[in-house]
Amino acid sequence: MKFRNFKMVGYVIYGLGSFDQLDEILAPQRKGDAPMIFFVDEYFKDKPAFLSRIPLQGKDKIVIIDVTHEPKTTQVDKLRDDLKAAFGEVSGIIGIGGGSVMDLAKAVGLMMTNPGSSADYQGWDLVKVRGVYKMGIPTISGTGAEVSRTCVLTGPTRKLGMNSDFTTFDQIMLDPSLTSSVPANQRFYTAMDCFIHCVESLQGTYLNAFSKSYGEKAQELCEEIFLEKKQWDDDADEKLMMASYAGGMSIAYSQVGVAHAVSYGLAYLLGTKHGIGNCIVFDKLEEFYPDGVKKFKAMVKKHNIEIPQHITKGLTDEQFDTMINVSLGMAPLWENALGKDWQQIMTRERLRKLYEQL
Ligand code: NAD
Ligand code: ZN
């Protein structure tokens, strides 16, 4: 097919306090007595005032998700096996949290109906069967996981998403009030994921008017929030949530670039998390994204954020090779960033030098 036929999220509800409409939104999706399963970020585990707002009925269950590490295929398979053993069937999976919890909700939702291990479906369009009903409720803004057609998983041999039309959420709920408790440093790292999505999409060779219109708006919102605003407020939470959405829409119809390709190597070898990993890499990418990196550095300075340095110091040749292999495996990202001849431009030697600077 010459043009991609882009699968989007089914329904979107937006607004401060919209979380209180969860019960009525879920009602038509309930199938007999099969429960709704709520995956909830561990931050909320000792927040009874929040947990009591989750509209539990019948056999519904809250599963607290440990987000110390980013989602793994083994974790997805175990959650699926546990739910199957306990309930047989479920009506749906609702992910309430950041990119990690939303991706787990997507992956487990798919694996409730697809046989085998989630590792079998890491790649593009390998999922053949629709999953159960899936809903995403972000509680931190930036990844765009709420709108994307992927759920990123670390598997036995690679970190790669289950990219498919079935992966996209059936419903998302964008309630910016849920993000007000995110600590400033973490908020910055995940927000910069959005900013970097925009820069990589807007500077990429895959750019088109669809992606550009979303990317420009999201980047403008990030700059307004992080460079112009005097202090954080509800308006900032609302704008950052919409920036995340628009940034996600921008890359959905284009691709990310150098920072993502390089940070995937760090994540695979060192377990560096997505938001902070992208910041560590982007900080050193002046030659690829001069204007974006300049703005990024200004934001870092204004918000007194510490970007870790020298994290690859002392690694062995073999470890550098592992990161280089993972990174160069992300061909579409490199092609978007550097064009069709990217292999001549980003040689193993040049990438090694880049990793050594991090
Ligand atoms: P995260 O989900 O790991 O959350 C970051 C931290 O914020 C955690 O410690 C969490 O407990 C905390 N947190 C979340 N909500 C909070 C709240 N309201 N108050 C206080 N603390 C809160 O991080 P993330 O940056 O949102 O997501 C990263 C993950 O998303 C990675 O696994 C990455 O691979 C994935 N990702 C997916 C896509 C996609 O399209 N599917 C895109 C980008 C990134
Ligand atoms: Zn990202």
How many A from CA of 190 to the centre of ligand 1? Answer: 7
Q: Report residues whose beta carbon is within 6 angstroms of any ligand 1 atom.
A: 41-43, 67, 70-71, 97-101, 103, 139-140, 143-145, 148, 150-152, 178-179, 181-182, 186, 190, 193, 274-275
Torsions phi, psi for 2 (to 5 deg): -70, -45
Q: Are 176 and 142 in contact (CB under 8 A)?
A: no
Could you tell me how many residues make up the chain? 358
As a whole number of Å, the end-to-end CA separation of the chain is 40
Please write the tens of the pLDDT for every residue from 189-214.
Answer: 999 999 999 999 999 999 999 999 99
Q: Which two tokens stand for residue 119?
A: 């590792």
Please write the tens of the pLDDT for every residue from 288-304.
Answer: 999 999 999 999 999 99
What mean pLDDT value characterizes the chain?
97
Please write the tens of the pLDDT for every residue from 224-242.
Answer: 999 999 999 999 999 999 9
Q: Are strands 152-154 and 159-163 parallel, antiparallel or unpaired?
A: antiparallel
- Confidence (pLDDT) at 1: 67
The closest alpha carbon to 149, from 135, 170, 163, belongs to: 163
Distance CA 158, CA 115 (A): 20
Rg (CA), the chain: 20
The 3-state DSSP class for residue 153 equals: strand
Q: Is the complex ipTM higher than 0.90?
A: yes
The closest alpha carbon to 29, from 174, 151, 170, 166, belongs to: 170
Pocket test residue of 8, 139, 143 for ligand 1, highest count of atoms within 8 A of CB: 143
* Domain 11-179: CATH architecture, name and number where available: 3-Layer(aba) Sandwich (3.40)
CB atoms within 10 A of CB 198: 29
- Confidence (pLDDT) at 25: 98
Residues 39-63 have a mean pLDDT of 98
Name the residue type at position 42.
E
The closest alpha carbon to 72, from 34, 107, 22, 20, belongs to: 107
- Confidence (pLDDT) at 273: 96
CATH superfamily of 184-357: Dehydroquinate synthase-like - alpha domain (1.20.1090.10)
- pLDDT of 3 strictly over 90: no
Q: Whose CA is nearest to atom 21 of ligand 1?
A: 182
- pLDDT of 2 strictly over 90: no
Name the residue type at position 151.
C
The closest alpha carbon to 39, from 87, 85, 86, 108, belongs to: 108
Distance CA 121, CA 106 (A): 13
Q: Are strands 123-124 and 36-41 parallel, antiparallel or unpaired?
A: unpaired
- pLDDT of 80 strictly over 80: yes
Distance CA 70, CA 162 (A): 15
Cα dist. 141→97, 231, 244 in Å?
10, 17, 6
Q: Under 8 Å CB-to-CB from 116, ≥6 apart: which residues?
A: none
Q: Domain coordinates of the chain in residue numbers?
A: 11-179, 184-357
Torsions phi, psi for 271 (to 5 deg): 75, 15
